[in-house]
């Protein structure tokens, strides 16, 4: 991840596993990283768009093993890094080491456990290190300096900067607070920083990359397309169009930053 990248998020199994694989392939062309969300019945960090996608996948009989199968199929054609996003409960129930080993075997490059605080993640981090599984932790605009440093050190793939307070979901524009947070993280952190929550168009990506982000994470905007178009050719076209727009925004922001 030398130049800034698009991190594209999809909910695994929404509306079905075969569709997820097609969607991953459609987004792959413009994505530096794909983040694959494992549906969970109580996704507290997610807004209504992704919560509804989780419900769609779970109501169609989704099982975690299906996420691993989809990833294995994707790996036959692509080596684009894939980060699995989940909550702690499914990992704990499966057994942390079992989950990490199965994710690794399927072809995952890293994991995000959104509700696992860093101070409680010692065992998880040790297991990930043992199995050469990447880790991604989150930081918010009110994260103190020292915690920001520790979170950066604990994140082997990138640090996930939450652009604003609250839950995921698209918004119109970003406040100065977000830009200030990126600049603060840029100064404090040694690793890569990617910004997520609320990004839905090329102009968003452009402004965030211009401020110094290494990537933008886009989820709800893609998931909205899937909600509206389902498992269809039109969905594939719309996903690719948005990914292209975001990718072009990233490129423009990078050019502005380097002027």
Among residues 239, 259, 227, which one has the least CA distance to residue 56? 227
Pairing between β-strand 110-113 and β-strand 33-37 as defined by DSSP bridges: unpaired
The DSSP symbol for 38 reads P
171 and 205 in contact (C-beta within 8 Å)? Answer: no
CA-nearest of 205, 127, 120 to 137 is 120
Query: Distance between CA 14 and CA 57 in Å, rounded?
Result: 5
Question: Max CA-CA distance within the chain?
Answer: 51
Residue 207, class by beta-carbon neighbours within 10 Å (0-12 exposed, 13-18 middle, 19+ buried)?
buried
Helix (H, G, I), strand (E, B) or coil at 21: helix
Concatenating the DSSP letter of every residue in 69-94 gives HHHHHHHTT----EEEEE-HHHHHHH
User: Which residues belong to the active site?
Assistant: 35, 46
């Amino acid at each position: 991840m030398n130049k800034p990248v698009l991190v594209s998020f999809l909910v695994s199994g929404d509306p079905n596993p075969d569709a997820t694989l097609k969607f991953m392939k459609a987004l792959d062309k413009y994505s530096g990283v794909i983040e694959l969300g494992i549906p969970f019945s109580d996704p507290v960090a997610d807004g209504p768009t992704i919560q509804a996608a989780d419900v769609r996948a779970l109501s169609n009989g989704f099982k975690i093993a299906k996420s691993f199968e989809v990833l294995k199929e994707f790996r036959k054609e692509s080596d684009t890094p894939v980060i699995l996003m989940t909550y702690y409960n499914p990992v704990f129930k499966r057994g942390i080491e079992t989950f990490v080993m199965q994710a690794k075997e399927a072809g995952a490059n890293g994991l995000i456990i959104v509700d696992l605080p860093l101070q409680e993640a010692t065992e998880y981090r040790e297991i990930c290190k043992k199995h050469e599984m990447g880790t991604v932790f989150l930081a918010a605009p009110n994260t103190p300096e020292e915690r920001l440093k520790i979170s950066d050190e604990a994140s082997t793939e990138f640090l996930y900067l939450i652009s604003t307070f609250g839950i995921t979901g698209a918004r119109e524009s970003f406040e100065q607070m977000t830009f200030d947070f990126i600049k603060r993280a840029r100064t404090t952190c040694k690793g890569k920083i990617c910004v997520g929550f609320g990004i839905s168009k090329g102009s968003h990506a452009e402004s965030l990359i211009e401020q110094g982000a290494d990537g933008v994470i886009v989820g709800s905007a893609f998931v909205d397309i899937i909600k509206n178009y389902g498992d269809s050719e039109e969905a594939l076209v719309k996903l690719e169009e948005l990914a292209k727009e975001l990718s072009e925004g990233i490129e423009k922001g990078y050019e502005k930053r380097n002027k």
